[in-house]
Amino acid sequence: MVDDQQRWEALNARGTPEWFRRAKLGFFIHWGPYSVPAWAEPTAELGTVESATEWYTHNPYSEWYYNTIRLEGSQAWQHQRDVYGGRPYDDFIDQWRAEHFDASALVGELAEAGADYLVLTTKHHDGVCLWDAPGTDRNTVARGPHQDLVGAYADACREHGVRFGAYYSGGLDWHERPFPPIGEADTWSWDGLRPLDEGYASYAADHVRDLVRRYQPDVLWNDIEWPDAGKNFEPHGIGSVFEEYYAAKPDGVVNDRWNVPHADYVTSEYQHMLDNEDARMWENCRGVGLSFAYNQEEDLSHALAGPMAIRHLVDVVTRGGRLLFGVGPMADGRLPEWQSQVVASVGRWVRPAGEFLQVTPTDRELDLGPDVWVRLGRAEDGSTLAFIDADTPVEVAGDLLTPEWGMLLDGVLTLAPDRPGAAVVRLS
């Protein structure tokens, strides 16, 4: 009889699917009832605030609104009282209409920007499901939009040639398993704040199985944790679910946030969990602003946009990772204009230069001076590519691969002021 350890080892023996190895840019879509109030304090990036209480009390993630409004005295708690009279969070489910939702148009916008894959929040920590999930009527078919939003996105991804991923919060469900709000104690630990029991493990496993059966996602992206009673190969154990998933989707991948002995890749988030970026296969996720979901308090001034967004993408890729860049539709289903501007700015660079992101880390070094931003990668033909961004001329020997926004003459690279991002030079 094969024991659990042998079955975990068998899962870990899988190779990385070629499509995911080559995927360098994904988009992360957070959309839910929290998109109705769409409110958070735009404070800081995760990983830059030492105190857990300070982070959660002033949480910039609007998708955490259900938690933050329960922290008495927080600005979100006050906002909920002032604007909504302290009404229950679930009122937002029925106020969420998605009246201008066009999955094909939105996914097409992201595909035009160079998306290799897309990950959608099928259930966030508030427990609201974006499909007709088994075991709950807190879903978007029974309430609110009265639509299968997961199915719409999955179909749109396949229409536009983008791989589809399903985010699922297995670690928290503040409705199905209520706990005190996170942040009352100054600790980053989830102990005593997440469900561990077999009943919830079964509930969550049924959801993931249903997502696989209906939508065949290319990525299963769990968050926070997995209930301890389901960290095994029992009938509702996540190990059994993984085996079924790979049988149905041989080139599928799962992330690391199940906290079990298997993952196809590991994740970092903004400036948090950066040790994971030393792994063989990793992904950095962050929003275009300080929130993943739409936050009406944010605008372009809070965004990682234009050449700075490209610098982050290139930095991640040349160190061996991929970027999952978060956008948040408004409650009506459209991206806010400023987020569309960020997406378009990424596309201006990726369309002509995205092919050069097929690089791996290199030990070669290139010092072009303190005022020049540069990253190096080893191309598939063995040559070294330099990604260079500078406002003044740079002396460098090589061939310019992106003449659309610069020129390289007599060993001097000059970039156009309106460039969308770094120039790419094949070094001599």
Q: 198-245: per-residue pLDDT in tens?
A: 999 999 999 999 999 999 999 999 999 999 999 999 999 999 999 999
Are 397 and 332 contained in the same domain? no
Are 67 and 123 contained in the same domain? yes
Residues 6+ apart with CB under 8 A from 234: 240
Are 169 and 60 contained in the same domain? yes
- What three-state secondary structure class fits 249? coil
- What three-state secondary structure class fits 25? strand
Are 378 and 335 contained in the same domain? no
Q: Confirm if 113 and 327 have CB atoms less than 8 A apart.
A: no
Kindly report the CATH number assigned to the domain that includes residue 404: 2.60.40
Q: Name the strand (E) or helix (H) holding 243.
A: helix 238-248
Q: 394 phi and psi, to 5 degrees?
A: -125, 130
Give the pLDDT score at 2: 75
Q: 300-347: per-residue pLDDT in tens?
A: 999 999 999 999 999 999 999 999 999 999 999 999 999 999 999 999
Are 217 and 331 contained in the same domain? yes
Give the pLDDT score at 119: 99
| Ramachandran assignment for 86, one of left (phi > 0), alpha (psi -120 to 50 degrees), beta (any other) | left
pLDDT over 90 percentage in the chain? 100
Q: 41 phi and psi, to 5 degrees?
A: -80, 125
Q: Binning pLDDT at 50, 70 and 90, where does residue 86 land?
A: very high
What six digits make up the tokens of 184?
């009352």
Give the pLDDT score at 1: 61
Residue 87, pLDDT > 70, answer yes
Are 130 and 249 contained in the same domain? yes
CA distances from 284 to 90, 121, 199 (A): 31, 17, 32
Q: Which of 307, 334, 357 represents a domain boundary (last residue)?
A: 357
Kindly report the CATH number assigned to the domain that includes residue 21: 3.20.20.80
Residue 419, pLDDT > 90, answer yes
For the segment 364-374, the average pLDDT, to the nearest whole number, is 95
The count of C-alpha atoms lying within 13 angstroms of the C-alpha of 184, restricted to the half-sphere facing its C-beta, is: 12
As a whole number of angstroms, the distance between CA 184 and CA 336 comes to: 33
Are 229 and 334 contained in the same domain? yes
Q: Which of 302, 323, 357 represents a domain boundary (last residue)?
A: 357
What is the extent of the structural domain holding 91?
4-357
Are 336 and 364 contained in the same domain? no
As a whole number of angstroms, the distance between CA 325 and CA 116 comes to: 11
What six digits make up the tokens of 341?
């501007």
Q: Confirm if 287 and 341 have CB atoms less than 8 A apart.
A: no
Q: 201 phi and psi, to 5 degrees?
A: -60, -40
Cβ atoms < 10 Å from Cβ of 189? 10
Q: Which of 305, 336, 357 represents a domain boundary (last residue)?
A: 357
For the segment 362-386, the average pLDDT, to the nearest whole number, is 96
Are 329 and 230 contained in the same domain? yes
Please list, residue by residue across 29-53, b when 16 or more beta carbons sit within 10 angstroms of its beta carbon and e when fewer do: bbbbbbbbbbbbbbbbbbeebeebe
Q: 267-313: per-residue pLDDT in tens?
A: 999 999 999 999 999 999 999 999 999 999 999 999 999 999 999 99
Question: How many structural domains does the chain have?
Answer: 2
Residue 134, pLDDT > 80, answer yes
Are 331 and 293 contained in the same domain? yes
Which residue carries 């204009």 as its tokens?
Answer: 337
Are 166 and 99 contained in the same domain? yes
Are 316 and 366 contained in the same domain? no
CA distances from 387 to 102, 278, 376, 379, 408 (A): 36, 21, 6, 12, 13
Q: Name the strand (E) or helix (H) holding 202.
A: helix 198-215
Q: 12-50: per-residue pLDDT in tens?
A: 999 999 999 999 999 999 999 999 999 999 999 999 999
As a whole number of angstroms, the distance between CA 28 and CA 45 comes to: 17
Nearest CA to 35 out of 298, 272, 284, 268 is that of 298
As a whole number of angstroms, the distance between CA 291 and CA 298 comes to: 8
